[in-house]
Amino acid sequence: MGYVAIADRDHEIEHHDPQTFITKYVWSQDHKVIAIQYAGTAIFVGVIALILSAMMRLQLGFPDQFSFINPENYYQFITMHGMIMVIYLLTALFLGGFGNYLIPLMCGSRDMVFPYMNMLSYWVYLLSVIILLISFFVPGGSTGAGWTLYPPQAIMPGTPGVDWGIILMLASLAVFIVAFTMGGLNYVTTVLQARCRGMTLMRMPLSVWGIFMATILGLLAFPALLVSAIMMLLDKTIMTSFFMPAISSMGVDSGHTGGSPILFQHLFWFFGHPEVYIVALPAFGIVSDLLSTHARKNIFGYRMMVWALIAIGGLSFIVWAHHMYVSGMNPYFGFFFATTTLIIAVPTAIKVYNWVLTLWEGNIHLRVPMLFAIAFIFTFIHGGLTGLFLGNVTIDLPLSDTYFVVAHFHMVMGVSPILVVFGAIYHWWPKITGKMYNETLGKWHFWMTFLGTYSIYLPMHYLGFAGVPRRYFAMGNTEFMPESAQDLNAWITMSALFVAATQVLFFINVIWSLTRGPKADPNPWDATTLEWQTPDTPPKHGNWGHDLPECHRWAYDYSVPGYEDDFIPQNVAADVAPAGRDHGGAH
Amino acid sequence: MEIGLIVLAIMLATLLGWLLRQSFNAQPWIAEPVEESASQAPFNARPKLVALTAFLAVATSFFALILSAYSLRMELGDWIPLTEPQLLWFNTAVLVLASVAFQWTRNVAVSGRASQIKPGLLLTGILTSAFLVGQLIAWQQLNASGQYITSNPSNAFFFLLTGVHGLHILGGMYVWARATVRAFGGRDAAAVSHSVELCTIYWHFLLLVWLIIFGLILST
């Protein structure tokens, strides 16, 4: 049995307690420190990407008012904003950050199975970030090819950053994938091998399920990005013709022959679509736990939630070409991909219903994490519904190159996951730091962010319907657009600047909490999951003191009838407390 | 993309089937004493084996996607089939022998005949290195006959595939080297034996990958 061997490792691990400052906080092999390193780095680059988006909005809202934004810069801002947000912020934060922190604690293990490789994963990730940041400062600047990096334009003269920017971008992606693979193997193996006694797969909190499935998707999908990055690097540096057709630019023959740009699109989206779910599944899992905990009710339909995660993960690999309707394809393929895309709405809708039904007759505490979790349901339904529009070929074709798509994907995989990120940070902050944050400041942060983002993206749908094209630096003399479209753009820009500025509240709260925050209760939310039952807050190296916890029940025994507290932690024995029932045991 | 899709579908179906079997009859809302639920856990604690299996899935996805790209690119007009260097047949035979040698070393290690591990490891090392050198010579033969990586997409794919395959082997050689150093240091026989077991699986996997690549290159 697996448990014996893990228990055998106890003495070994205790001897490995880090002694010096360097091994404790810098070259640390402790999953909690690595998680904070990952999260800190990801949030740092995320702030850079946020500033880039503010610069883009300045140009769109007030065209040609700012001399430091020219078309080249604008495309570089777009590209780096997209790439950083999707990969270096969200993927790294959800899996490297929350994955690292939560998997061992929620599964009741002392650390990741391979702590050294875990440490290496962070430092290689940092290297990829450094390469990415260097690309801002090389001659020609970073690449402006758009985050999808489509050839041939990504490596053709005329695209910003064609000399060095694109090479560094591709190199950085390759390095990131190496880092992710090292981390991902760790997460999967830890979930499969290092759970504490009694923690069956079906007793794992949904956060772990979401992160676990997302990691599997990442491990299988990132190779597609790696393959396309390697091939494009070869096309760029030694003039192979994987993707590059024979092309002549400004009278100069590029030297390529017969390559297929569509091939790149297939490879890219074979990664790119699962990537959406690599970001979404951890958010789904975490939000389930936040809702259940703060509504004091068991999650509605736990098994269905797990199966929905699994189904979404599987389906996400056969929908990629819905990103390529405008590239042209056999109508039967279009039909196939439209069908699979719409089918994915079924498990997703199951999840949404279950979240809402979890709230039904719950004892809802509108604390900051709960506000963010409920807001996620709104933004996610919103973004999901516009996805139904875009999944259909005939509707996608006219809308694909408009702001409708920008609004759609920002609602569904920009705003929604970020709301969960904030909710999760507020939720686990007391455990991570041992300090409480300022509730009032947190609520201000929430309301301004939530209403502000709606004020940005709701009007964008209208712009899209009006036919305002995305990706354009300036609209020029486009007569079909009403004057009011420009007024709307100015409004969106002001909202965006407002939302960006309000994020300062979050950082003020962080600093306030770290310096003057009151000491946190070990389990301030009366939560059932194991990470709240650690002997120390924040948990020390090894997490559990001398004895590993034992798991006796699932993570959702809230408001069980006949028990004095309204929650029963997972490590409370079965004969001490009764168990809840499925579906509405809270009555 | 069919190849990538089929391979991926098989891997996902295996995993999802396993997950569903784990979860289908579970009634997680029922609290149970630890002993009963512990017996539901079907795994042995072999984290390295699990991690290797997961890595093989990653590598499978990686190679399958390149082969998908190969089959898509092949259909375009400028594709000229590669004239394979005859040396590849010799290299293939060497890699097969390396795999056999590793299997023998593994059997020796598992049955506890520790003294025979060292020659086994050395033999595998030599054979595997010979394969890598052979691949490099094949590259040079191609270059010497004017078949550069840029000459034709089929050449580009050949260099790419052999290159990444070789890099995977080099990664395996790192683990092999660590095991060999340990074996000759005479310490930690259990760790050496475990390394050899895992390496054997990895070598067989890379042999299989090479046979598929070679078969594809020969037939197209």
Please check whether residue B107 lies inside any domain of the structure: yes
Tokens 């979890």, residue located = A358
Flag if B62 and A226 touch (Cβ within 8 Å).
yes
- Structural domain span for residue B155: 43-219
- What are the chain A neighbours of B164 within 8 Å (beta carbons)? 230
- What are the chain B neighbours of A227 within 8 Å (beta carbons)? 62, 65-66, 69
Flag if A231 and B31 touch (Cβ within 8 Å).
no
Flag if A263 and B78 touch (Cβ within 8 Å).
no
With cut-offs at 50, 70 and 90, classify the pLDDT of residue A406.
very high
Kindly state the percentage of chain B with pLDDT values over 70: 94
Mean pLDDT of all residues in B66-70: 94
- The DSSP annotation for B8-52 comes to HHHHHHHHHHHHHHHHTT--TTS---HHHHHTT----S-HHHHHH
Average per-residue pLDDT for chain A? 91
DSSP state, residue A542: T
Reference A141, options A173, A163, A109, A112; nearest CA is: A163
Choose, out of B65, B76, B79, the residue to mutate when testing the contact with A (most A CBs < 10 Å): B65
Flag if A259 and B153 touch (Cβ within 8 Å).
yes
- What are the chain B neighbours of A578 within 8 Å (beta carbons)? 31
Identify whether the C-beta of residue A309 lies closer than 8 Å to the C-beta of residue A213. Answer: yes
- The DSSP annotation for A180-198 comes to HHHHHHHHHHHHHH-PPBT
Choose, out of B11, B30, B34, the residue to mutate when testing the contact with A (most A CBs < 10 Å): B34
Reference B176, options B197, B146, B153, B147; nearest CA is: B197
Phi, psi (deg, nearest 5) at residue A10 = -50, -55
List, for residues A455-486, the tens digit of each pLDDT value: 999 999 999 999 899 999 988 777 778 888 88
- What are the chain B neighbours of A316 within 8 Å (beta carbons)? none
Please check whether residue B114 lies inside any domain of the structure: yes
pLDDT of residue B91: 97
Q: Which residue of A has its CA nearest to B48?
A: A189
Put simply, whether B167 touches A (Cβ < 8 Å) is no
pLDDT of residue A545: 86
CA distance A180 to A97: 12
Mean pLDDT of all residues in A375-401: 94
Q: Which of A41-55, A389-403, B30-44, B48-62 has the lowest mean pLDDT?
A: B30-44
Residues 6-45 of B with CB under 8 A from A: 8-9, 11-12, 15-16, 19-20, 22-23, 26-34, 37-38, 40-41, 43-45
Measured in whole angstroms, the distance separating CA B50 from the mean position of its chain's CA atoms is 15
Q: Which of A233-242, A511-520, A551-560, A570-579 has the lowest mean pLDDT?
A: A570-579
Please check whether residue B10 lies inside any domain of the structure: no
pLDDT of residue A351: 97
Please check whether residue B84 lies inside any domain of the structure: yes
Mean pLDDT of all residues in A209-232: 96
List, for residues A40-84, the tens digit of each pLDDT value: 999 999 999 999 999 999 999 998 888 889 999 999 999 999 999
With cut-offs at 50, 70 and 90, classify the pLDDT of residue A3.
very low
Mean pLDDT of all residues in A383-412: 94
pLDDT at B23 over 90: no
List, for residues A442-460, the tens digit of each pLDDT value: 999 999 999 999 999 999 9
With cut-offs at 50, 70 and 90, classify the pLDDT of residue B32.
confident
Mean pLDDT of all residues in A490-499: 96
Sequence-distant (≥ 6) Cβ neighbours of residue A2 within 8 angstroms:
A193, A194, A195, B41, B43, B44, B45
Q: Which of A37-46, A556-565, B210-219 has the lowest mean pLDDT?
A: A556-565
Per the structure, the count of domains in chain B is: 1
Say what the pTM is: 0.94
Alpha-carbon distance B157 to nearest alpha carbon in chain A (angstroms): 8
- What are the chain B neighbours of A2 within 8 Å (beta carbons)? 41, 43-45
pLDDT at A7 over 80: no
List, for residues A322-375, the tens digit of each pLDDT value: 999 999 888 999 999 999 999 999 999 999 999 999 999 999 999 999 999 999
Amino acid of residue A131: I
Please check whether residue B159 lies inside any domain of the structure: yes
Q: Which of A108-117, A505-514, B17-26 has the lowest mean pLDDT?
A: B17-26
Flag if B20 and A307 touch (Cβ within 8 Å).
yes
**Of how many residues is chain A composed?**
587
Identify whether the C-beta of residue A290 lies closer than 8 Å to the C-beta of residue A369. Answer: yes
List, for residues B103-148, the tens digit of each pLDDT value: 999 999 988 887 889 999 999 999 999 999 999 999 999 999 989 9
**Of how many residues is chain B composed?**
220
Alpha-carbon distance A436 to nearest alpha carbon in chain B (angstroms): 32
pLDDT at A585 over 50: no
CA distance A407 to A464: 8
Flag if A223 and B72 touch (Cβ within 8 Å).
no
Q: Which residue of B has its CA nearest to A577?
A: B31
Q: Which of A95-99, A237-241, A426-430, A494-498 has the lowest mean pLDDT?
A: A237-241
Please check whether residue B21 lies inside any domain of the structure: no
With cut-offs at 50, 70 and 90, classify the pLDDT of residue A8.
very low
Please check whether residue B172 lies inside any domain of the structure: yes
pLDDT at A4 over 80: no
Sequence-distant (≥ 6) Cβ neighbours of residue B127 within 8 angstroms:
B94, B95, B97, B98, B101
For A149, A519, A520, B161, the CA distances from A231, given in Å and listed in that order, are 12, 53, 51, 11
Identify whether the C-beta of residue B182 lies closer than 8 Å to the C-beta of residue B123. Answer: no
A-B Cβ pairs (cutoff 8 Å, strict)? 190
Q: Among partner residues A3, A220, A231, which is closest to B38 by beta-carbon distance?
A: A3
pLDDT at A587 over 50: no
Mean pLDDT of all residues in A246-269: 89
List, for residues A435-444, the tens digit of each pLDDT value: 999 999 999 9
With cut-offs at 50, 70 and 90, classify the pLDDT of residue A254.
confident
Flag if B78 and A579 touch (Cβ within 8 Å).
no
Sequence-distant (≥ 6) Cβ neighbours of residue B119 within 8 angstroms:
none
Residues 100-139 of B with CB under 8 A from A: none
Phi, psi (deg, nearest 5) at residue A392 = -85, 130
Nearest 5°: the CA angle B117, B119, B121 is 65
Per mean pLDDT, which of A22-36, A48-62, A549-563, B177-191 is the most reliable? A48-62
Alpha-carbon distance B52 to nearest alpha carbon in chain A (angstroms): 8
Token representation of residue A172: 């950085």
Flag if B51 and A582 touch (Cβ within 8 Å).
no
Domains identified in chain A and CATH numbers: 2-15+26-243+258-533 (1.20.210.10)
Q: Which residue of B has its CA nearest to A9?
A: B45
CATH value at residue B116: 1.20.120.80
Flag if B41 and A200 touch (Cβ within 8 Å).
yes
Flag if A318 and B5 touch (Cβ within 8 Å).
yes
Please check whether residue B33 lies inside any domain of the structure: no
pLDDT at A240 over 80: yes
pLDDT of residue A402: 94
pLDDT at A5 over 60: no
CA distance A187 to A433: 23
pLDDT at A10 over 60: no
Flag if A1 and B66 touch (Cβ within 8 Å).
no
With cut-offs at 50, 70 and 90, classify the pLDDT of residue A153.
very high
